[in-house]
Amino acid sequence: MIAFTDVQYRDTDATAACVIAGQWSAETPSSEWTTVISPIAPYEPGAFYKRELPCLVEVLRRAPPLQFVVIDGYVWLDTQRTPGLGARLYDALERRTPVIGLAKTAYKGSEMALPVMRPGSAKPLFLTCIGVDEALALQLVTSLHGAHRLPTLVKRVDSLARGR
């Protein structure tokens, strides 16, 4: 099972969403749910994980045993492998479940991320991972369903978190 996760923030709470698929090429999820988290930590520049990590841990409590978790963000923040949200989630999951980060934007320091060109897009996604070989992670992400930059299940979990 593969979990796709995302979090949407409001003033005092957040909605964490999870979409589960049995295969990387799945077009539709086998299950999905949301969890509202309140209160949430304030945004802290350079420490985003303090806000998002508790939300992801909470929404993943309902998940069946997982082979992978895909997050919207980075596993590593720079070439020195400073832990990002994904590396911290991997630790929170007791280093048992590989985490693949798919970020939509590059930033200074993100040169270590592997650009992933999806069909129908001139802009890449940026892949980082932990607990899985980068070449395998690239192969898995490339096999995700969808004819556009954002894979179908990544779009679905984003919509679910936003309440759509």
Task: Please tell me what DSSP assigns to residue 83.
Answer: B
Is residue 90 a contact partner of residue 66, using CB atoms and an 8 Å limit?
A: no
Q: What are phi and psi of 46, to 5 degrees?
A: 80, -5
The model carries a pTM of: 0.94
d(CA 43, CA 70): 22
Q: What angle do CA 26, 31, 32 make, to 5 degrees?
A: 110
φ/ψ (deg, to 5) at 43: -65, 130
For every residue of 6-35, DSSP letters joined together read EEEE-SS-EEEEEEEESSTT-SS-SEEEEE
Give residue 116's pLDDT.
94
Q: What's the CA gap between 5 and 59, in Å, rounded?
A: 8
2-161: CATH topology: archaeoglobus fulgidus dsm 4304 fold (3.30.2170)
**Strands (DSSP E) found in the chain:** 2-9, 14-21, 31-37, 68-71, 99-103, 114-116, 125-130
Residue-wise burial string across 23-61, b where 16 or more C-beta atoms lie within 10 A, e elsewhere: ebebeebeebebbebeebbeeeeeebbebbbbbbebbbe
Q: Are 47 and 66 a contacting pair, CB within 8 Å?
A: no
From first to last of the 164 residues of the chain, give the pLDDT tens digit: 999 999 999 988 999 999 999 999 999 999 999 999 999 988 888 788 899 999 999 999 999 999 999 999 999 988 888 899 999 999 999 999 999 999 999 888 788 899 999 888 889 999 999 999 999 999 999 999 998 899 999 999 999 999 97
pLDDT at residue 32, as a whole number:
98
